[in-house]
Amino acid sequence: MCLEGLIGRRLVKPVTVLMCPSDTGACASPLLPRRWDSLFDSEAGSDVVFLVGPEQWRFPGHKAILAATNPVFQAMLNGPMASQDTTIPIEDVDGRAFDNLLRYLYKESVQLQSVSTALHTLYAAFKYQCGGLVKICVRYLDSQLDSSSVLEVYRHLRIYYNPSVLPHSDIQHNSSSSQLSSGSPSAPPEEDIVGMGHTAQVTDGPYQCLPACSEDITDAMSYCGALQHNCLEYIDMHTKEVLEQEKVEDLDLEGLRIIAERETLTIPLESVLFDALVRWCNRECKRKRLELSAENKRAVLGEETLYAVRYLLMSSEEFLAGPMQSGLLNQTEVNVILGYILHHPVHENPHLAKVIPQMRTPRKKPQGQPIPLSQRSSIGVCGHDIVMSEVDGSASGSARWWGGRKSIKKAAQKQKKQKNQRSTGSRIMEYVFTALSWVFD
């Protein structure tokens, strides 16, 4: 029996709609029924098999459906270079991610139940140019942002969107923002979030994706930009907890530098950032099979990232316990920085002259807001408090976002109290530093 006949028999009420043979948004004539979920995971009428991932998961498929709904499958199955083999291996896509991809193309609900699966699915969505599936993944990932996941999400998003091309101040807007210039992440239109079509079932509730005829992959990239903005906003609010995660060691150098240079990090001590840089250096040297020497660590980190730490905001004890002993700073840098910390006359150093003003400038209080992509980020923008979020069942999302303000304030008060209660031992140590600085000079 032909595929069209099989669909007609298996569906209770076949409804024809305009379908897009590609993700460009150009719709063709009515070809196939609206729903094909009765054929998903079905061997009936299957004329192609996919062996996916390193474990070679087996997926039955239907060429007519896949080619009609996706340009990549159209080229793969019916293009001039199409293989005549009915078994097609796909090695670089995760099995669960490919399952979600087929669910999306067969008009089934996409089940995202972990950050890892969502990131793998995001890769598959970009590879197969499914803009709507990209948005489903983005909304789910936004709903799951916390201190343990934000760096992993941020690292993966850098593959699809580079925040360095857009100044941080250019993406401070809310859901009613007007359309920004090309390349700027903007809040998704309301009709995108509550649209017709697929449904992504996530813990914070169902989020609708665009219909099949709005599969603009460029538009989907702006969603990735918005999510990356939210990641950086979250890092700003929870800097200490985030930098203590081991996933900071998995960042590439550029991604690490972007975080280290942010003016709005909320950390009680600059040594928190410096310690994270030291851990990253150690891991990077091991990845590159380099000797764990101070020279190699400094070389892989680079001066631009090394100088992002506000050393002149450190106490003398903090500087000795971390940067001075690490070996990442050379003797000249140690002498100059220590001299400034102890308020001693310092010989001008042309190499450091440009970065000294930044090293002594306190970081600013975060003023930005997340771009609303899910309940988590929308609650923060709308200004609802935690009590309100508990009523609608999303207390965890709101608490993850706003909870940082209280912890930051408490840490700042603790730090101020410690400064006001400096012990006699600290005074003695300061005299030791003074003597050392004169010796090094």
220-238: pLDDT as tens digits: 888 999 999 999 999 999 9
CA distance 85 to 93: 19
What pLDDT score was predicted for residue 378?
A: 84
CA distance 3 to 65: 9
Mean pLDDT computed over every residue of the chain = 75
Question: What is the chain's Cα-based Rg?
Answer: 27
Q: Which residues contact 47 (CB under 8 A, 6 or more apart)?
A: 3, 61, 62, 63, 86
- Residue 178 C-beta-side C-alpha neighbours within 13 Å: 1
Mean pLDDT of 333-338: 95
Q: What is the pTM of this model?
A: 0.72
Q: List the domains of the chain with CATH numbers.
A: 3-234 (3.30.710.10)
Q: Please give the DSSP secondary-structure letter assigned to residue 397.
A: H
Q: Which is nearest to 119 in space by CA: 64, 156, 74, 87? A: 156
- Residue 124 C-beta-side C-alpha neighbours within 13 Å: 28
Q: Is the pLDDT assigned to residue 334 strictly greater than 80?
A: yes
Q: Is the pLDDT assigned to residue 5 strictly greater than 60?
A: no
Indicate the pairing of strand 48-52 with strand 87-90.
parallel
What pLDDT score was predicted for residue 193?
A: 36
Of the listed ranges 316-325, 329-338, 372-381, the least confidently predicted one is 372-381
Mean pLDDT of 424-439: 50
- Cα distances from 8 to residues 19, 21, 69, in angstroms, run 17, 21, 18
Q: Which is nearest to 211 in space by CA: 20, 38, 7? A: 20
Assign 294 a pLDDT band (cuts: 50, 70, 90): very high
Neighbouring-strand partners of residue 180: none
Where helices occur in 81-216 by DSSP H, the ranges are: 95-105, 115-127, 131-143, 150-157, 190-193
Model pLDDT for residues 65-108, shown as the tens digit of each residue: 999 999 999 999 988 888 888 999 999 999 999 999 999 999 88
